[in-house]
Amino acid sequence: MLEVDTVRTRRGAPGTGRRRRLPGLVAVVAVVAWILGAGPLGSLLGSLGDVQTNDQSAFLPIGAESTRAGELAEEFDRGDSVPAIVVYSGERDLDGADLAALSAVAEGLTDRPWVDGPVVGPLPGTEDASVAQLIVPIDAGADTAEAVGELREALEDDPVAGLQSQVTGPAGFAADLAAAFGGIDTTLLLVALVAVLVILVAVYRSPLLPIVVIVSALLALALAGALVYASADADLITLNGQSQGILFILVVGACTDYALLLVARYREELSERDTAAKAVGAALRGVIGPILASAGTVVLGVLCLLAADLASTRGLGPVVAIGIGAAVLSALTFLPAALLLLGRAAFWPLAPNRRGETAARGTDAVLGGHRVWGAVAASVGRRPRAYWVGTAVLLLAAAAFAPRFDAEGSSQAEIFRTEVEAVDGQQTLTRGFGADSTAAPALIVTDADHADAVVAAAEDVPGVTGADVVRAPGPPGQQGAPIVEDGRVLVEAVLAASPESAQAVDTVRELRDSLAEVEGADALVGGVAATTLDTRETAQRDFTVVVPLVLVVVFLVLIPLLRSLVAPLLLMAANVLSFAAVLGVGTLVFEHVLDLPAADPVVPLFAFVFLVALGIDYSIFLMSRAREETLVHGHRPGVLRALTVTGGVITSAGVVLAATFAALAVIPLLFLFQLAFLVAFGVLVDTLLVRSLLVPALSLELGARTWWPGRAGRAVPEGRDRSTVAERAERAVGADVP
């Protein structure tokens, strides 16, 4: 009776068909839920600009002296407007008729709704008589970018004969910066997706599978964008233009990387399983650990940025964490469901054939699909010491230039990589009025009873040309009384040098030292030069705090994943060396090849977090597979098999991520260009050198000690066949297997 029931169950007992149909029904529900649920959320991607904070406060050091001084200075009635400077220039000296025409322009601008107060000027040039300026106060409550756009249109509609107009100043630079970030929503995403699509078509040689992977990434981006929008709108996180650009890139790149790993394992399992459902299940079981560990490493790594004091640095962590969470969710739910529904047809026209591939087991199974990486594994297996020593020497040589990486920051005019009106206008302004035209005073907030002592101490500092207390308007011909707020006064100290120059920064440093000696003054120094100084010092502080924190967090993630202490140390050392080498190459490229200005102070920290958190992914994919194979076949063949079977997919994933990060270069800002180069180049170094040569060679050199104190790498139990596919592949290319 039992035998009959067993046979009936196998042939189609009641309920068997339903159980077979269940995975398909679940897959349909998952796909429909993602498309109908996350798909419409994509409309919020275009609205992220509405919840961005791109003003100066989004990039200030939290709690720094310049930030506190700036907050206190806002309490004083110094005008609540953002100046837009309209520079007029011609090929001749301006005469009375020209100045009269400019006065008429100024009069016409006064009635604009976004103008806050009278337009100052025209002011004729002091160094070049062919230049003049108008100062247009833009209401701080207005949309600065929109107001400047209308101002430029008004100047075009009412030109002055023979003169060219340019809008610069704080408002002009703010508008052009907003315009630079405006390419994020369309151009950046389009470039990234096209790059990924081209690579996927080359990898899969299939028209259908790349589309499925791209859809998976787009759904993840739609979900991430909606979550970031809701969080920023509720003031739970701070979003700025650069964070949004990085979010787009990371979601697309990370989701594609996870998809590549899953699809590669799925293809392997299709050669062993008789149904797509079984293959998808086995593939998920094989990759879910490494993918979750990879995603967890990135999330925990970027959340370490919350320990930073720079507002822009701290705000990036939660934004990226949300994006990675959406990417891994899509890769582990929508993509498996879509693969199950498509079955072997997903790989058309090169769909894997189970019977043919089963017959081809052995050397051909490895060398047919992984011939190149089989040869690489065999070569590393023959001479591991030569490979790890040679690779380490190469990386150390590049790392020798890392201490010379210039991250002192650049001026406002240097952050743009394309010609913009604000920069051109600033050059014209400097030509007409000299370098002092760009000067901005240092703002000193101090105790009112010590104002005279503070003014005297400030004037004694070399590089300060004058200082005075901000006063209320007085009767004609008389000085007004100092403005006092909560027992404090505001002192403006005029600097001789441009506020973004090294001389101005040094002057502020000396000014702070001098004012610290005025007992009871409690003086705080702010302003442009002070903010530049604090930003540099805070970025250095953030680097020394966040970097060790990231290393500890990543190390703690690797220990339970690899069940080892030695292997995580090996991976961490390799990735730190890789980062140093990339920074050294960046020094040579930025300074001697491209002749770029100094990098933003936060570039090294961002590059480190992304390269360690993302670069370790590829080592995780390799070593988790190596541990899996080592438990079955022993250490040496396990490592070589892992390198063979993961080489292609990990390299493809690295190329995809490098290509997506390189897409950041389409945004014409120096910061994003330099970050794009460092991360894209660093990912390729991690993929092609560290994971392919350095880590496996060191693992072979260390032997089974790599997995200490875990059990992996110990003797394989008796009776288990050690003549594995990897060993036969190794022998096929001439390697010696003991």
As given in the structure block, the two tokens for residue 588 are 């040579």
Cα 401 to chain centroid, rounded: 23
| 3 state DSSP class of 158 | coil
Strand partners, 443: 492, 526
| 16 contact partners, CB below 8 Å, separation of at least 6 | 9
Q: Enter the pTM of the model.
A: 0.80
Tokens of 90: 């011609």
DSSP string, 359-391: HTTTHHHHHHHHHHHHHHHHHHHH-HHHHHHHH
Distances, alpha carbon 72 to alpha carbons 66, 200, 490, 507, in Å: 10, 54, 9, 21
> Tens digits of per-residue pLDDT, 112-157?
888 887 888 788 888 888 888 888 888 777 778 888 888 888 888 8
Contact partners, residue 730, CB within 8 Å, separation at least 6: 374, 377, 378, 381, 637, 640, 737
Residue for token pair 């990339």: 582
Looking at residue 161, its pLDDT comes to 82
Distance CA 128, CA 126 (A): 6
511 and 66 Cβ atoms separated by less than 8 Å:
no
Instruction: For residue 565, give the nearest of 433, 681, 705, 452 by alpha carbon.
Output: 705
Render pLDDT for 468-520 as a digit per residue (tens, 0 to 9).
Answer: 888 776 666 666 677 888 888 888 888 877 776 778 888 889 999 998 888 88
Query: What gap in Å lies between CA 314 and CA 307, rounded to an integer?
Result: 7
Number of H helices, E strands in the chain: 24, 8
Q: Is 675 helix (H, G, I), strand (E, B) or coil?
A: helix
pLDDT in tens, 432-454: 887 655 567 888 889 888 888 98
pLDDT given at position 738:
34
The pLDDT, as a whole number, for residue 545 is 92
pLDDT of residue 55: 60
Give mean pLDDT in consecutive 10-residue pieces for the chain, a chain of 738 residues.
37 48 78 89 79 66 81 68 84 86 86 82 84 84 83 86 85 81 69 83 83 92 92 85 83 88 85 82 86 87 88 86 94 92 84 51 40 88 93 95 87 79 86 70 87 88 85 67 83 79 85 89 86 85 91 89 89 92 94 88 88 81 86 88 87 86 83 90 91 92 87 51 42 39
C-alpha dist (Å) from residue 8 to 17, 116, 342, 520: 12, 87, 30, 94
Per-residue pLDDT at 504: 84
Question: Going by C-beta distance under 8 Å and a sequence separation of 6 or more, which residues neighbour residue 62?
Answer: 309, 310, 311, 314
> What is the reported pLDDT for 736?
38
**What does the block give as tokens for 450?**
């010590």
